[in-house]
Amino acid sequence: MMPLVVSEIVRQTPSIVSIRLARPDGDVLPPWEPGAHVDVQLVTRQERQYSLCGDPADTRGYRIAVLDEPLSRGGSHYIHRHLQVGRRVYVRPPRNLFPLGQAPGYLLLAAGIGITPILAMARHLDAVGAPWRMLYLSRRAEDVAFTEELAAFGDRVRVHLSGTEGRVDLREVLGSAASGTDVYACGPQRFADALTGLREALPEGSRLHLERFEPAKREFRPNEAFTVRAARSGREVAVPAEWTMLQALRGAGVEAPGSCLRGVCGSCALPVLDGVPEHRDSLGTEGTSVVYSCVSRSLTPALTLDV
């Protein structure tokens, strides 16, 4: 992890602050592309994932934004009440599980703190001259973050305030896109679930790309015990029904990555060499040969992993 210092804190709304992180010596940082996030470890030893919402051309600073969550697991509470300019934090290099692909046109949808990766996408698309527009959903005007930056995009950005304008019709929003338009969306669970249920409303040739902050609500079969064969270390690790793969691997002394422990950040990804995984993550891995060990399990008695 890279030791970085807080070089700037800006209050964007009553409940959102943006934070710029830089190297203590001011040197360049690893590059990133829109949609990427970083894992940030605070002095509390808590590790949290935050989308990068700055400018990829700013090679000497990473900007994130943090919502003051009432039901915080500790990270946002510390940041809003204790983090100060000059403090040191530790950051893993950017990873991108929400990459911006090629498409004839783009519809960007953001709700609340979901504006963070979407803002970086808008800035990139505007810079390269791609056809795009954005809808940003917020309850009140005072809850809209990055107002000056969004205003610079002119009529490409529409802000919808549900407190005064009522709830937006997402089916109509999706249906209004031109054929082939790709939709990139990020926001809280209700917003993400609503869009997932409206995929059939997408125009012909359009695709929905969604980033979640919380795991999707799904039902799975009861947990059963299985064995993990760690190919690189040569260990066989029993995974009891009440343990996750990640817990069992670490308990057996096998070094395995992991951060959010909820199947949304992608940090615990492990390649599957043999066996059939039961994907329980919220990262769209169905049918892939990658398993996220913090939540997923095995459909076969044993699973061989490249770890």
pTM attached to this predicted model: 0.82
User: What are 75-95's pLDDT values in tens digits?
Assistant: 888 999 999 999 999 999 999
Q: Which residue has the higher pLDDT, 227 or 219?
A: 227
DSSP codes joined into one string, 157-204: EEEEEHHHH----HHHHHHTSPTTEEEEEEE-HHHHHHHHTTGGGSPT
Domain with CATH 3.40.50.80 in the chain: 105-212
Domain with CATH 2.40.30.10 in the chain: 2-91
Look at residue 212 in the predicted model and tell me its pLDDT: 85
Q: Which residue has the higher pLDDT, 258 or 62?
A: 62
CATH number for the domain whose boundaries are 105-212: 3.40.50.80
Domain with CATH 3.10.20.30 in the chain: 226-305
CATH class, domain 226-305, is alpha beta
Q: Is the pLDDT of residue 276 over 80?
A: yes
User: What are 19-49's pLDDT values in tens digits?
Assistant: 999 999 999 999 999 999 999 998 777 788 9
Residue 77 three-state SS: helix
User: In sequence order, which residues have a C-beta less than 8 Å from that of residue 270 and are 6 or more positions away?
Assistant: 256, 290, 291, 292, 293, 305, 306, 307
Is residue 134 a contact partner of residue 157, using CB atoms and an 8 Å limit? yes
Going by pLDDT thresholds of 50, 70 and 90, the confidence category of residue 233 is confident
- In CATH terms, the superfamily for domain 2-91 is Translation factors (2.40.30.10)
Going by pLDDT thresholds of 50, 70 and 90, the confidence category of residue 72 is low
